[in-house]
Chains A and B, each alone.
Chain A
Amino acid sequence: MNVNFSVNGEAVSVDVEPDTPLLWIIRDHLGLTGTKFGCGMAMCGACTVHLDGARTFSCQIQARSLEGRAITTIEGLSPDGPEGDVHPIQQAWIDEQVPQCGFCQPGQMMAALDLLNRNPSPTREEIVVHMNSNLCRCGTYPRIVKAIQAAAEEMQA
């Protein structure tokens, strides 16, 4: 089927099977590989993107439900890359030196941004509840918390 939607503000059109998960549309059909595959069953959060402004597991969204929707991926946060205006979330992740292997981090950042969009100054407890959806086998959780707190301050300033 042909489906039309937007990714990071740009209109896109793809021809895929109706049950194709958004994750693989983004990664393989559109070439945006910042969004990662970790489990395929909404248990790890590596594939987290924003769908119409709210976080979602892209491995669970099928092509047939995408028409007219707006997707934001990690590539959409700082459109000009490291040399341009860096999004406060990504800057906080760099300043706090969050990643180890780094594979889960795009999903972590997209989940964190979703939190700060709804709750600009979350408590530690609120951060933990929200972020419990996203796994990190390297165990960078303490630094993720610090980075979210730093980004929250920066985004409010």
Chain B
Amino acid sequence: MTIQTGNQTRREFLKTGAGLAFAIPLASKLGLAGAQTAGNGAVANSYVILKPDNRITIYTHASEMGQGSYTGVPMVIAEELDADWNLVDIEFSPLSDELYGNPRYYGFMLTIGSDAISTFYEKLRFSGAQIRKTVMQMAADNWGVPIGEVHTEPSLVVHSPTGRSMTYGEVSMLGNVPETLPEVDESEYKQVEDYRIVNNRDIQRRDTPGKVFGGVMNGEKMFSMDVRLPGMLYATSKRNHFGNREVVRIVNEDEVLALPDVIGVDVILDSVTVIARTYEAARNGEQLLQVEWSNAEEDARYNSDEELERLKAIAYDESREGIDVMGHWRARLRGQVGQAEGLDEALASADEVHQRLYTTGFMYHAQMETMNAVVDVTDDGRKAEVWAGTQGPTQTRMRVAEVLEIPIENVTLHRNFMGGGFGRKAVRSHDNFVEAAMLSKMYEAPVKVIWSRENDLIAGHYRPHGAHLVTATRNDRGAIDNFLHRTVSDEPLRWGDPERFERGDSRPYLAASFWNGAIYPAVEKFRGDVVMEFTDTRVCAMRGIGGVATAFARECFVDEMAHETGIDPLEYRRRLFEGQPESQLVFDTLKERCNWDGRPGLGCAMGSASYALAVEIDLDERTGIVKPTKIWAVASYAVVVEPSNAENSFYGQLMLYVGASTSEEITFRDGKQEQSNFHNFQIARMADVPEIDVHVIPSESRQIGTSDGPAYAIGPAISNALYSLTGKRVRHLPVSPREVLKALNA
């Protein structure tokens, strides 16, 4: 071997670690950023460390899977800190639930649901403003002037009357760090019009160059799949289509062991692993390997079409009571949306009730980087080092500690970037890490596990399929006034995060979602019921979560109601937002941008109270292929932290949902997926990109995340466009060729 480029030694890995070992007590009464220094005289809180050389380290708590908050989180902090952005160095934060835990998800560090910035927004602003106030106070004390006489310019404290100044680095060396860092009042925050960093289109993502140069940043491998350790072994795994299955017999273990470089075949929980000196050998073993699983006879009778028919029957079965999932946050939404009280009576006593049934299929995340892990168990099994691209670093660490039966402190986790996550890398069982940890312990060597695309798909945790029964009445103006949305589905959290599911708080039901303004405010009485139907098909949350399925049913239904009443579908939706000018402006703007004129092939849908889109489609009647030719999306957002990144994200979401709404679906026949890789699971390619027009309206509303955005409205919009073109309706997502042909021939 003559090339060493790109190699990274063990020593280099150890040197870089997971950031500073910094213990910062959380002292703020607001529960905001840590209000104390480490006692070594540094000017620092849990997000910011000022360095004597005038550079500033800012931590980002969030895991980075492509959404860009690696840069966005520090931007919000740097803005309030009044930092010179060129002097800011970004690092992943240390792992500490106390300092960086997500309050929405019972305090774990967990990057899900597009809230890396929105949930933490006040905390991030506070963290920056607190350090700014600290340096102003320190400089003022040093100069013997009142703090009111100093101001800041980028990374500079200035005595306003005299123009004397000190850099933040110089201030950090004054030695007069206050015992307790100051509290900051919201009135001390910057005004939006004074922002230099936030909402600045010229600021680029800091992870871009590393990604353009093949995934190396500051000498470290960004993706765990690229991490290499001396003496490392490689493993693949094979799992059943269903969870809760046991390995009955490995049919041809000897044959696999006889392959060159293969070292072992092992059963790790419900997977069979092949470990080898090279990945190619492990992969050959995986392809050769034959396994007999428990429950095989019954599983062979499983067909997803039949299963969906069963869920449809349950939707109509009144003896199956649903859980009123909105009950959990109805109090919070009081005044924003209609109430549930009296809904059943209103529907029972109405002269005319409108009812439609919709279904949605299994969807696979298809993140480009398949599940993988690098684990090195040392000290006779007492310590473990983990390289992990994970949305839940705390839970990954817990899981590794649990299976190795060691304290969590003995597990060091290096936070890698993810080659896509979309929810898949938050699944609590973290099987890929379990496999690598157990194998590293057994074989006393570092182990890299890489799932093949086939295993990643077959052992995937899909967005569950489901049936949606919508029952509603209309008032004398044709508007929907009573609305019951009944969802029958497995619950993603039951597999994705069983603890959260069992706790019953922290948004426990993800099969359907009815929050974030996704309900029309004009609807007087509303309820979203979920009937949970447990199955052995592995599921979990996927980008857009329950909103993808509920939006499909709701927006197709609203379209049907509009057509029945003879009201234009866009105008019909606009009226359902009566009294909410910000939302109505979204529809007015959309109408103008797409020249909404009722031409055939044009359809629209609402994604949230601040997002709507329209799509124009082409249809090949022979093949049933529907192709969006142009999409117009209008969104209303408060502060867009990273405008360039948000634009990229908006386009990207639309592309993901174009694929997920037309050509992608996981189906089972005779107990096996009919898809296995990208030849028969077809995600959107460049030729599928329609013309896209995204328009953002500045809003007064609260901060919300953009990368989990309601672009899933493209699914129902495509179905609605198909109706406007053909008069035929597809009530299934995806609007696949199979479904389109069924509808055209009906």
Contact across chains for A33 and B656 when beta carbons are under 8 A apart: no
Asked if A102 and B419 sit within 8 Å, CB to CB, the answer is: yes
Contact with B along A30-41 (1 / 0, CB 8 A): 111111111111
Interface centre among B3, B7, B65, B687 (most CB of A within 10 A): B3
Per the 8 Å Cβ criterion, residues 83-101 of A in contact with B are 90, 93-94, 97-101
For A12, the chain B residues whose CB sits under 8 A away are 1-3
Q: Find B279's partner among A28, A82, A129 (CB 8 Å cutoff).
A: A28
Question: Which chain A residues border B4 with CB–CB below 8 Å?
Answer: 31
Residues of chain B contacted by A17 (CB below 8 angstroms): 260-261, 280-281
Which B residue sits closest to A129, measured CB to CB? B687
Are A33 and B67 CB-contacts (below 8 A) given A94-B209, A101-B417, A139-B652? no
In the complex formed, the residue of B with least CB distance to A73 is B214
List residues of B (670-687) whose CB comes within 8 Å of A's CBs. Answer: 677-679, 683-687
A45 to B692, CA, bound (A): 24
Cα–Cα, bound, A132→B678 (Å):
13
Min distance, Cβ A5 to any Cβ of chain B, angstroms:
11
Residues of A within 8 A of B209 (CB): 82, 94
In chain A, what residue has the closest Cβ to B685?
A132
Q: Which of A73, A78, A135 counts the most chain B CB atoms within 10 A?
A: A135
Report which of B214, B279, B366 forms a contact with A74, defined as CB distance below 8 A.
B214
Q: Contact check: which of B7, B65, B417, B656 meets A31 at CB < 8 Å?
A: B7
Q: Which residues of A contact B366 (CB under 8 A)?
A: 137
A-B contact count (CB 8 A): 219
Query: Given A13, A35, A105, which contacts B211 in the complex, CB threshold below 8 Å?
Result: A105
Q: Contact between A39 and B686 (Cβ–Cβ < 8 Å)?
A: no
Determine which of B656, B677, B692 lies in contact with A43 in the assembled complex, contact meaning CB atoms within 8 Å: B677
Answer yes or no: A113 CB below 8 A from chain B CBs.
no
Most buried by A among B418, B645, B652: B652
Q: How far is the CA of A127 from the CA of B685 in the complex (A)?
A: 12
Interface pair B677/A41, CB less than 8 Å apart: yes
Cβ-based interface call for B191 (8 A): no
Tell whether, in the assembled complex, residue A20 and residue B215 are in contact, meaning their CB atoms are under 8 Å apart. no
A152 interface residue per 8 A CB criterion: no
Complex CA gap A102/B215 in Å reads 8
Q: Are B678 and A97 in contact (CB under 8 A)?
A: no
Interface residue ranges of B407-438 to A (CB < 8 Å): 417-422
A7 to B370, CA, bound (A): 26
**If the complex has contacts A37-B225, A139-B655, are A97 and B644 also in contact, measured as CB distance less than 8 A?**
yes
Residues of A within 8 A of B648 (CB): 97-98, 100, 140, 143
A32-B6, A97-B645 known; A39 vs B417 contact (CB < 8 Å): no
| Given known contacts A33-B221, A138-B652, A40 and B453 CB-to-CB distance under 8 angstroms | yes
**Given A31-B4, A39-B677, A43-B677, A75:B205 Cβ within 8 A:** no
Q: How far is the CA of A48 from the CA of B650 in the complex (A)?
A: 27
Q: Is the interface of A mostly helix, strand, loop or mixed?
A: loop
Q: How distant is the Cα of A30 from the Cα of B212 in the complex, in angstroms?
A: 20
**Does B667 have its Cβ within 8 Å of any Cβ on chain A?**
no
| A33-B205 CB under 8 A given contacts A20-B278, A137-B420 | no
CA distance in complex: A123, B219 (Å)? 37
Return the chain B residue nearest A74 by Cβ: B214
User: 1/0 per residue B274-311: CB within 8 Å of A?
Assistant: 00001111011000000000000000000000000000
Query: Is A81 in the interface zone, CB < 8 Å from B?
Result: yes
Residues from chain B with Cβ under 8 Å of A29 in the complex: 1, 278
Give the contacts of B64-86 with A (CB-CB under 8 A).
65-68
Contact A141:B453 (CB < 8 A) given known A32-B5, A103-B368, A106-B214: no
Q: Is B689 an interface residue (CB 8 A)?
A: yes
Closest to B225 in A: A37
Knowing A36-B419, A103-B419, A132-B686, say if A13 contacts B652 (CB, 8 Å): no
Q: In the complex, are the beta carbons of A31 and B228 less than 8 A apart?
A: yes
- Give the distance to chain A from B692, nearest Cβ to Cβ, in Å: 7
Provide the residues of chain A in CB contact with B223, threshold 8 Å: 33, 36, 103
What residues of A have a CB within 8 angstroms of the CB of B67 in the complex?
A: 100
Q: In whole angstroms, what is the CA distance A27 to B4 when docked?
A: 11
A139 B687 Cβ-Cβ under 8 A: no
The verdict on A7 contacting B3 (CB below 8 Å), with A135-B678, A137-B366, A138-B66 known, is yes
Which chain B residues lie closer than 8 Å to A28 at the CB level? 228, 234, 278-280
- In the assembled complex, B207 has its CB within 8 A of some CB on chain A: yes
Q: Say whether B369 contacts A101, CB under 8 Å.
A: yes
Within 8 A of A (CB), among B622-681: 644-645, 648-649, 651-656, 677-679
**A100–B649 touching, CB < 8 Å:** yes
Give A44 to B261 CA distance when docked, in angstroms.
28
Complexed CA–CA distance, A10 and B226 (Å)? 22
Determine whether the beta carbon of B213 is less than 8 Å from that of A78: yes
A85 to B422, CA, bound (A): 35
Query: Once bound together, how far apart are the Cα atoms of A15 and B742, in whole Å?
Result: 55
A155 interface contact, C-beta 8 A: no
B422 to chain A, nearest CB (A): 8
Residues of B within 8 Å of A109, CB to CB, are: 212
* Set of chain A residues within 8 Å of B394, measured between Cβ atoms: none
Please judge, given known A-B contacts A20-B280, A104-B368, A138-B420, whether A38 and B453 are in contact too, CB under 8 Å.
yes
Q: Sorted from nearest, which 6 A-B pairs have the closest CB atoms?
A: A34-B214, A102-B211, A139-B655, A103-B419, A101-B66, A139-B652
With A31-B4, A90-B212 given, name 15 new contacts (CB 8 A).
A24-B279, A29-B278, A31-B5, A33-B6, A36-B225, A38-B369, A82-B213, A100-B68, A102-B417, A136-B652, A137-B367, A137-B420, A138-B420, A140-B651, A142-B651
A-B contact list, 11 entries, CB within 8 Å: A11-B2, A16-B278, A27-B226, A31-B5, A33-B221, A40-B452, A102-B207, A102-B417, A139-B653, A141-B689, A142-B689
Interface, chain A (partner B; CB < 8 A): 7-8, 10-14, 16-17, 19-21, 24, 27-41, 43-44, 46, 73-75, 78, 81-82, 90, 93-94, 97-106, 109, 127-129, 131-132, 134-145
